[in-house]
Structure 1
Amino acid sequence: MMTSDDLIELILPYNPKTNEKLIRGAYDFGRAMHEGQTRHSGEPYFSHPVAVAAILTEQQLDDATIVTALLHDTIEDTKASYKDLATRFGDEVAMLVDGVTKLTNLQLNSSETKQAENFRKLFMAMSKDLRVILVKLADRLHNMRTIKAMRPEKQHQKSRETMDIYAPLAGRMGMQWMREELEDLAFRVLNPDGRASIIRRFINLQREAGDVIPRITGDMRVELEKAGVEAEVFGRAKKPYSIWRKMQEKEQSFSRLSDIYGFRIITGTEEDCYRALGAIHQRWRAVPGRFKDYISQPKSNGYRSIHTTVSGRDGKRVEVQIRTRQMHDVAETGVAAHWSYRDGVRSQNPFAVDPAKWIATLTEQFDAEEDHEDFLEAVKLEMYSDQVFCFTPKGEVVKLPRGATPIDFAFAIHTRIGTACVGAKVDGMRVPLWTRLKNGQSVTIITAEGQMPQATWLDIATTGKAKAAIRRALREADRARFVKLGQELARSAFEHVGRKATDKALRTAARNMRLDSAEDLLARLGSAEISGRDVVQAVYPDLAPKTSGNVDSRRAVIGLQPGQSFERAHCCEPLPGERIVGITFRGKGVVVHAIDCDRLGQYEEQPERWVDLHWHDGTHPAVYGATLDITIGNDAGVLGRICTLIGETKANISDLQFLDRKPDFYRLLVYVELRDVSHLHSLMLTLEAEADVAAVSRYRNMARAEDAVEA
């Protein structure tokens, strides 16, 4: 185990002014507190905090962070208290150790809902002091390096947690080296055969072609010398997991994967970066679409570098990163560069990002997300994202994750712009909203008053901010629609028992049903969560219509004369549960219309033909036809899934008719047989929730005139 002197020897080269007494004091206190404790491997437990501290010295971090690493398990695993640490080492260290302890207790591998809440707590901890996360990441890295001592099921759990949470978090913070090592260590546990296969193929490749890295770095140095650029050149093969992920994403075999080597050029000045780029492109052919300039457009975590991919020796693609020494320091340590030391003083790296501002931008967009699952999705989207940079018409830069669309761009500018978006222009050309944006494009958002987000936008948007705003708008729009429908249903239900659905009656019903307000009651009534009978019974239990069991479809209507027959009007297709009226015809009996049917206007001058009708209460059979106007995406299997959904709601499809066929969508009429209007509402809600359904509405064909027979 490393001694306190060994640890101080690691700190002195970058911080000669380190407080050696503080470091030794923390070392001795931590060792005493953990005395007698051992790790799974049998080693003294204190060897772990010491190793975590050593990892943090590689990032040249301050004394407080190193001391926190030495003490990070004392509050949780020993008799030491927060007060003890504050008294001995100061409030700053005590607060950091307490923060790490709370993170350790989050149990981030739990259920989705719990995990989302834990992410919120994690971001809160980060917002207080980012060094808490730096210690926790170093803690996880050492645990992964020594994971073989754990039980197999524990290894798998920790590796999955590392792959899902800690590795992408390290990458998001700019600590790419740590992300790659965490991923590879987790990959070794989660898919040992896959990792071994990649390594074997690497060995075979080197046996066949030799070690190409020294040859290519030598060629690059020659070209840079010719151009008069002083620079260091390094090359390496990419990590096994990075190669595996590329194989999965591109669906390519190892033999077809080209850019498995990466090279880094470190220059003295920013000007030399661009001169080096010119020398590389002059010597080797650049691969189109694989150039990114993060110097002129830095990432939010301060990362700056030029990325390009070129065809090197034998046509093999290699990735080249070009940056200055200061940019490289930030690229290696990311947000941690803010606390790094050099020659005993805090490093004044102009490219180091302010941690407070960085964490504010990361957490701001998640604050408004109420749903746990939506929040978790938004977090993971942002954690794994790479960036593209687009411009507004005024030349302002908008940063978006790779794969972003004009909808993401619109919401990134302002929620109001995103909500009112009806179209977009990219570089002056009108494009569909699902277009994937590329670096350097100029985007103009076209808006219109009254426009509201569509449910299909959730499949188009990629950013957490856009998805959260769309869901919020859809919830508000659905609620307003359900409240309006609930008002009509309540009015009809109360009129059926000779009462009025007054505000007071609705408030009373809501209170008796333990709902927050009358509006909440109406929203639930409109969305078919409760029935009109339930609402009436909550206010007038003695007047509420009693359920009378199954209803014979031949006698489903009340109000007919003995022996008088009826049929439903083809124009409005009334369903049980809707207010109805009958019109008499010679030889046809009574034709039943919905009370709001436009065709009824033809009979205003003939009141003698009108018959007051209403539907029987009880359970009706699913034999009443209704027509739905549905627009769906033109993709394989979509129509089959829609038909399956309709069947799952116990509705029967009697016919289909296509109205419009486009390359990207179909519009069709679906004739279904239903029980009642609640069955219809339930079916429409199910279809609206389906991602491949762009629009669904009830279709009423007023042009159909089979019942327009003269009396």
Structure 2
Amino acid sequence: MSAVTGSTTDTTSTLISESVSGLTAPALAQRYLISDFCSYLDTYLPSEQVRECYRAYLFGAEAHLGQKRKSGEPYIYHPLAVARILAEMRMDYRCLIAAFLHDVLEDTAIAKEQMAALFGEDVAELVDGVSKLNRIDFQSRAEAQAASLRKMLLAMTRDIRVILIKLADRLHNMRTLDAMSPEACRRISRETLDIFAPIANRLGINWVRVELEELGFAHYWPWRQRVLRHALHKAVGVRSEMIGTVETALKRALQQEDIAGRVEGRRKHLYGIYNKMRNKTCHFADVVDVFGFRVTVDRVDTCYRVLGLVHNLYKPVPGRFKDYIAIPKANGYQALHTVLVGPQGIQIEIQIRTEDMQRIAESGIAAHWLYKTGGQAATNPTALAADWLQNLLEMQREAGNSVEFLEHVKVDLFPGEVYVFTPKGKILSLKRGATVVDFAYAIHSDVGNRCVHALIDRRMVNLNTVLRNGQTIEIITAPGTRPNPGWLNFVVTAKARMNIRGYLKNIRQREAQTFGQRLLNAELTAFKTDIEHLNPLRIATYLEETQLTSINDLFNEIGLGNRLAALVVRRLLTIEGEEVVHSAQNHHPHQLAIQGTEGMVVNFARCCRPIPGDDITALFNPGRGIVVHRAECRNLNGRDNKQGKQLDVRWSEDAQGEYPTEIRVEIGNRRGALAVVAGAIAEQGSNIENVVSREKDGMTTDLEFQLLVKSRQHLARIMRRLRQIPLITRIVRITRS
């Protein structure tokens, strides 16, 4: 398809006449004409770039010719509206061209190569980044959505304009959502509130965030939105006199001190009020910052002068002052916030900022194009966005699949900041509830992987300590340390969670490969061979049959229990038509020795707590490896013990490590009895992990200890020592059913 067919005037007039037919006057009032759009572009773009945008419009109009939106209007009106939104952000002309063409690859037969030839590689990459993955089969809508969003977010790391186009696209779709079915309205609104509004907030584009939240709220919870809107309208009427009084007082105070500034009343938007009511489980009347005022001045030092003025004018509420100028938010937002007790005892919020801060607050990263602020200071939205995009790339590398990646992105989009300091005085903003481990990973993934302790304000703390504003944290690392799976129970930031999971996944894969090779060789021992001496053609044929890419993948599958070593051996030895000659009577596979160092692919059953020296057996647990039980464990009878599911194992003579086991001690009720027992256990070199006390008859008490022991002999020494205590009447090892 050529860029333009026929005269441009004929094409444009045809599109305009087609778009007008069947539309009501209110609908027409919301539509933009290309002539108006080009006139608007003339205010900030050179004429040759405006002509390129017009050419892109004509190309998009021809490509979408005959296509209509759900509302019945010609499809080209949507790209035109998206381009208009971006033009209001003063975006460059290539971004506007991509806006006109953003659905062409997805909804028409135009190829990316053709678009690149006509409009440049830069534009083609932008359009491809916004386009969904429609040509891939997914098992569910959620998986398809996650994969498309993952593609878009990764494209955004190469060019931030991708997400700006997508935000404008979503904003216009939300403005015209009434044409969709109720089910589609709720689904799109939920996605908007969960993903796109938080992204707009993360990039500091406040006006886009607010409109997306208001539209999403209205379509997802229409009844709640109407009730809250009515309550707000009523409150405005009741407090209008108070609002006027405060505004007049603020303006008079500025004039008296000869401070040039603007005073504007502001009202919290409905979704913000609703979120505060829901998060704090409070009523509408309890939300104190529904009404507020914004004071905009020329310089930073004037902001602090105004703060003193308003605190003299009305009493401040203790604990409600926030200095976002000294410590900006994660998206670059800066201002002074204070809550005052106004007339009639009504609390009002005052925001004080400079004109530059106001522009950043509304436009965020778009201010880079809108006002050419430039600079790479720590508080510049462009630099802060670059840091966030770098975190996205790290999460992408560690994510298992698109759905997992998207879930972690959602976590990262709702920070609720806590501000802490590094030992060198650098400020870090973390999600509220963040722990020492979250801080360590925020510094660097290697610091997080190797952290062992931390100092908060020079005091030693545990790694799960929750951070508070203003603390100074120093991380202590040790070589050879690796992440603990238990950290996943308390970390809250997406970066920490993804790094821990990624590291453990790689460790687990290596352990699974090593263990799988041992399992396979244990089976091959019965046939007096091993994997190294098998014909490579047999292995290659088996890998091709099973669609595995390498022998390590086969080891990994066996180690995780997804394939049974015995069945793999039977197939390997029968390839090329050979027979495996053996019977159940004469085939005795080599017992696998459990060393205790196999890692996460060998799990020890909690019901019977096997320890070195016990007779043991093992069951395959697909996806996790094997679970080792004591041979006499009663739970084995209820498991799937079909042939091939159970593995013949034994403890290695040099088994290493400490293993949990449980004992029950019946002891007479005496003061200090527990301390006596604990001391005796410690004498034998064992650590008590947990203890539970249950009184029996008023005379005796059952103490259940979970101990760490090295072997059955070690446990026997502990029990012999405990029997020497006169108060103890009975000791048994616990096996839970």
Q: Given the two structures, how large is their TM-score scaled by the length of structure 2?
A: 0.68
Q: 1:428 aligns with which of 437, 442, 458?
A: 458
Instruction: Write out aligned runs for 1:401-416 (5 A).
Output: 401-416=431-446
Contact (CA 8 Å) 2:198, 2:209: kept in 1 or not?
A: yes
What corresponds to 2:493 in structure 1?
A: 463
Cα root mean square deviation, aligned = 4.6
- On the 8 A contact 1:75/1:101 being kept in 2, the answer is yes
One of 382, 386, 390 as aligned partner of 1:361: 390
Q: 1:660 is matched with which residue: 657, 679, 691?
A: 691
Q: Which amino acid aligns with 2:89?
A: Q
Counterpart position of 2:333: 303
Are the aligned partners of 1:536 and 1:544 in contact in 2 as well (CA < 8 Å)?
A: no
The alpha-carbon distance between structure 1 residues 23 and 225, as it changes in their structure 2 partners (threshold 3 A), is same
**Structure 2 residue 203 is matched with structure 1 residue 173:** yes
Report the CA distance between 1:471 and its aligned residue: 1.2
* Structure 2 counterpart of 1:702, from 716, 720, 730: 716
CA contact (8 A) 1:338 1:354 kept: no
1:235 alignment counterpart: 265
Secondary structure at the counterpart of residue 424 of structure 1: strand
Code of the aligned partner of 1:389: Y
Structure 2 residue aligned with 1:246? 276
Q: Which moved more, 1:191-200 or 1:89-98?
A: 89-98
Residue 271 of structure 1 is matched in structure 2 by: 301
Deviations 1:534-582 (A, max 9, x none): 466456744474799xxxxxxxxxxxxxxxxxxxx9994423469xxxx
Match of 1:382 among 396, 412, 425: 412
- Cα distance, 1:163 vs structure 2: 1.9
Cα distance in structure 2, aligned partners of 1:193 and 1:80: 43
Which residues in structure 2 correspond to 1:187-336 (within 5 Å)? 187-210=217-240, 212-287=242-317, 290-299=320-329, 301-336=331-366
CA distance in 2, matches of 1:185, 1:109: 30
Q: TM-score, normalised by structure 1?
A: 0.70
Does structure 2 retain, via aligned residues, the 8 Å contact 1:108–1:118?
A: no
Contact map agreement 2:129 2:151 (CA 8 A) in 1: no
Q: What SS is found at the alignment partner of 1:702?
A: helix
- CA distance 1:535–1:225, change in 2 (3 Å): same
In structure 1, C-alpha distance between the alignment counterparts of 2:191 and 2:512, rounded to whole Å: 41
Q: Cα deviation per residue 1:264-311 (whole Å; 9 max; x = unaligned)?
A: 222111221222233334444545555444433445544333344444
* Counterpart residue number, 1:641: none
Give the deviation of 1:533 after TM superposition. 4.3
Distance 1:486 1:25, change over 3 A: closer
Matches within 5 A, 1:336-347: 336-340=366-370
Is residue 108–residue 115 contact of structure 1 (8 Å, CA) maintained in 2?
A: no
Matched residue type, 1:660: V
Asked whether the equivalents of residues 435 and 464 of structure 2 are also in contact (C-alpha less than 8 Å), the reply is: yes
Q: CA deviation at 1:196?
A: 1.3
Residue 524 to residue 698, structure 1, CA distance change in 2 (3 Å): farther
Alpha-carbon spacing, 1:450–1:44, altered in 2? closer, same or farther (3 Å) = closer
Between the two proteins, what is the percent identity of the paired residues?
35
Q: Given the alignment of the two structures, is residue 574 of structure 1 paired with residue 654 of structure 2, yes or no?
A: no
Further displaced range: 470-479 or 524-533: 524-533
How far is the alpha carbon of 1:195 from its aligned partner? 0.9
Determine if contact 2:398/2:501 at 8 Å carries over to the other structure.
no
Secondary structure of residue in 1 paired with 2:466: coil
* Distance across 2 between alignment mates of 1:359 and 1:378: 13
Describe how 1:446-457 pairs up with structure 2 within 5 A. Answer: 446-457=476-487
User: Residue 57 of structure 1: which of 58, 82, 87 is its match?
Assistant: 87
Residue deviations 1:195-238 (CA, integer Å, cap 9, x gap): 11211221333344446544433333344444543221222222
Distance in 1 (CA, whole Å) between partners of 2:509 and 2:139 is 34
For residues 394 and 46 of structure 1, what CA distance do their matches in structure 2 show? 54
In structure 1, distance between residues paired with 2:142 and 2:414: 18
Inter-partner Cα distance in structure 1 for 2:465 and 2:409: 23
What SS does the aligned partner of 2:418 have? strand
Which AA in structure 2 matches 1:388? V
> What are the equivalent positions in structure 2 for 1:608-687 lying under 5 Å apart?
629=661, 659-660=690-691
Q: 1:274–1:409: structure 2 CA closer, same or farther, 3 Å change rule? A: same
Instruction: Name which of structure 1's ranges 471-480 and 191-200 shifts more when overlaid on structure 2.
Output: 471-480
Deviation at 1:520, TM superposition (A): 5.7
Please name the residue that 1:686 is paired with: none
1:148 is displaced (CA, Å) by 0.9
Once the two structures are TM-superposed, the CA of residue 453 in structure 1 deviates from its matched residue by 2.1
Task: Give the number of equivalent residue pairs.
Answer: 591
| Letter of the 1:46 counterpart | I
Deviates more, 1:222-231 or 1:83-92: 83-92
Q: d(CA) in 2 for partners of 1:218 and 1:355?
A: 37
Change (3 A) 1:22 1:522: closer
Q: Partners in 2 of 1:486 and 1:17 — Cα distance?
A: 67
Match for residue 566 of structure 1?
none
Post-superposition offset of 1:108: 12
Shift of 1:173: 1.5
Structure 2: how far apart are the matches of 1:169 and 1:122?
Answer: 12
Task: Give per-residue Cα distances to partners, 1:513-539, cap 9 Å, x unaligned.
Answer: 856667666665555545564466456
1:552 paired residue number: none
Q: 1:405-435: CA deviations, max 9, x gaps?
A: 1101111222232123233222223334333
Q: Which residue of 2 aligns with 1:676?
A: none
- Tell me the residue number matched to 2:696: none
Which residue does the alignment assign to 2:161? Answer: 131
Higher RCO (CA-CA < 8 Å; seq separation 6+):
1
- Name the CA distance, whole Å, in 2 between partners of 1:129 and 1:18: 24
User: Are the equivalent residues in 1 in contact too, given 2:454–2:461 (CA < 8 A)?
Assistant: yes
- CA gap of 1:483–1:74, structure 2 versus 1, over 3 A, is closer
Q: Which amino acid aligns with 2:716?
A: M
Contact conserved, 2:130 with 2:166, CA < 8 A, in 1? yes
- Residues 441-590 of structure 1: pairs in structure 2 closer than 5 A: 441-479=471-509, 497=526, 499=528, 504=533, 527-530=560-563, 533-534=566-567, 537=570, 541-543=580-582, 545=584, 572-576=613-617
CA distance in 2, matches of 1:180, 1:83: 37
* 2-structure distance, mates of 1:617, 1:25: 71
TM-aligned CA distance change 1:300 to 1:108, over 3 Å? farther
The structure 2 residue matched to 1:371, chosen from 371, 384, 400, is: 400
Which amino acid in structure 1 is aligned with residue 163 of structure 2?
I
CA distance in 2, matches of 1:71, 1:508: 52
**Alpha-carbon separation, structure 1, partners of 2:611 and 2:50:** 90
- Which is worse superposed, 376-385 or 272-281? 272-281
Report the 3-state secondary structure (helix = DSSP H, G, I; strand = E; otherwise coil) of the residue aligned with 2:429: strand
Distance in 2, matches of 1:518 and 1:538, equals 15
The 10-residue stretch of structure 1 (302-311 or 421-430) with the greater mean CA deviation from structure 2? 302-311
Unaligned 5+ segments in structure 1 are 549-568, 579-592, 596-614, 621-626, 631-656, 672-694
Once the two structures are superposed, residues 73-114 of structure 1 have per-residue CA deviations (whole angstroms, 9 ceiling, x without a partner) of 455556777677667666655554454445899999964444
Shift of 1:250: 1.4
User: For 2:539 and 2:111, how far apart are their aligned partners in 1?
Assistant: 51
Q: Look up the SS of the partner of 1:321 in the other structure.
A: strand
Q: Find the aligned partners of 1:379 and 1:173 in 2 and give their Cα distance.
A: 14
Kept after mapping to 1: 8 A contact 2:416/2:431: yes
Distance of aligned partners of 1:202 and 1:473 in 2 relative to their CA distance in 1, 3 Å threshold: same
Cα distance in 2 between the residues matched to 1:348 and 1:236? 29
**Residues 115 and 376 in structure 1, CA contact (< 8 A), matched pair in contact too:** no
Contact persistence 2:289–2:348 (CA under 8 A):
yes
Structure 1 residue 185: deviation in Å?
0.7
Q: 1:533 to 1:109 in 2, by over 3 A?
A: closer
Q: CA separation in 2, counterparts of 1:107 and 1:279?
A: 63
Q: Which residue type is aligned with residue 390 of structure 2?
A: T
Q: Following the alignment from structure 2 to structure 1, what is the Cα–Cα distance between the partners of residues 75 and 586?
A: 70
